[in-house]
Structure 1
Amino acid sequence: MQSRNQKNVKIIDVSHHNGTINWTKVAMDGVKGAYIKLTEGTSFLSKTAYSHYLHAKNAGLRVGFYHYAHANNDPIKEVNFFLEKLRNMKVDLPHCLDLEENKGLPKAKINAFGLKWMEHIEKKTGITPILYTGYSFMSNFSSAVAKYPLWVARYSSLNHVNGMNSPGSSTIWNKWAMF
């Protein structure tokens, strides 16, 4: 996959784990957008999502939301829960599926969950979603899922020590949308 370059737009992801955020400072640091955790599974709604949304928008950032998936659930129920909680908040970035845990399921089940989630939300909203997953988890997906843009996470001390500019290679995706 391609390496980072100076033209890449800086977008962050945040959740209730981040606590209070100085959104003005974030915007001044060159960040152009934020993905905010909205939901998880079929019952968790982030209590900080709406506040993060308002403050990020007021700081001039583009905003999108992500859903942390539980692949052992029904993907349709997870999409419907996400959309129900999204309500009328205006998004500037595509909806995002965060799928990075196998919950003890085989690759075929994880892939099927991801594909069904992505297809269903695209059908319901008309917006092509993006998949967020870790570099080491990408092998759980097939080329059918690769029709969706990839946001790849690669958390490693190498990223910081050696200034890693590429998430590595993939036999499924030939490029990333976000890294």
Structure 2
Amino acid sequence: MQSRSSKNIKVIDVSHHNGTINWTKVAMDGVKGAYIKLTEGTSFLSKTAYSHYLGAKNAGLRVGFYHYAHANNDPIKEVNFFLEKLGNMKVDLPHCLDLEESKGKNKAQVTAFGLKWMEYLQKKTGITPILYAGLSFSNSYFSSAVAKYPLWVA
């Protein structure tokens, strides 16, 4: 895993939980990019995703989107839902799979879900996605098979 460095660019993640954001202030604080929660599972669309997208873009930030996954769903349906809701919004950062809950699945099942989600998304878009999870969750629920994708540790 990459070590922290003062040379790393600062990228934040935001969701509907953050409410209204002053994107100009965010940019003035040295933030260079934002990952915005777009979808969750197969039915939740963030009501703030588009306004966050416009605000971040207008402030000159690079933008990417993340999908909060439910490992007990069909990963293909989740990817299709994410891409449908993404529509014509232009991204500057790779798509991100946020996988933080096992939903009763074991390590092999969670790993298989994550791999299928990321492989299918990459096939559909040509973009290599990144995986977001906490360190403890990663150690407990991912095998080395996911190592071919970049990991963003919470």
**Fold match (TM-score > 0.5):** yes
Query: TM-score scaled to structure 1, two decimals?
Result: 0.84
Q: Distance in 2 between matches of 1:24 and 1:70?
A: 33
Q: Distance in 2 between matches of 1:141 and 1:105?
A: 11
| Secondary structure of the corresponding residue to residue 111 of structure 1 | helix
| Secondary structure of the corresponding residue to residue 72 of structure 1 | coil
Q: For residue 6 of structure 2, what is the amino acid of its counterpart? A: Q
Cα deviation, residue 144, structure 1:
1.6
Q: CA RMSD in A?
A: 0.6
Cα deviation, residue 88, structure 1:
0.4
Larger Rg over CA atoms: 1
Structure 1: tracts of 5 or more residues without a match: 154-179
Aligned to 2:150: 149
Structure 2: tracts of 5 or more residues without a match: none
**1:34 counterpart = 2:34:** yes
Name the structure where helix makes up a greater proportion of residues. 2
Q: Which runs of 4+ in 1 moved over 6 A?
A: none
Contact 2:39/2:66, CA 8 A, preserved across alignment = yes
Partner deviation per Cα, 1:87-133 (whole Å, 9 max, x = no partner)? 00000000000000011111111000000000000000000000000
Q: For residue 123 of structure 1, what is the amino acid of its counterpart? A: K
Partner deviation per Cα, 1:14-37 (whole Å, 9 max, x = no partner)? 000000000000000000000000
Q: For residue 62 of structure 1, what is the amino acid of its counterpart? A: R
Partner deviation per Cα, 1:119-155 (whole Å, 9 max, x = no partner)? 00000000000000001111211222110001001xx
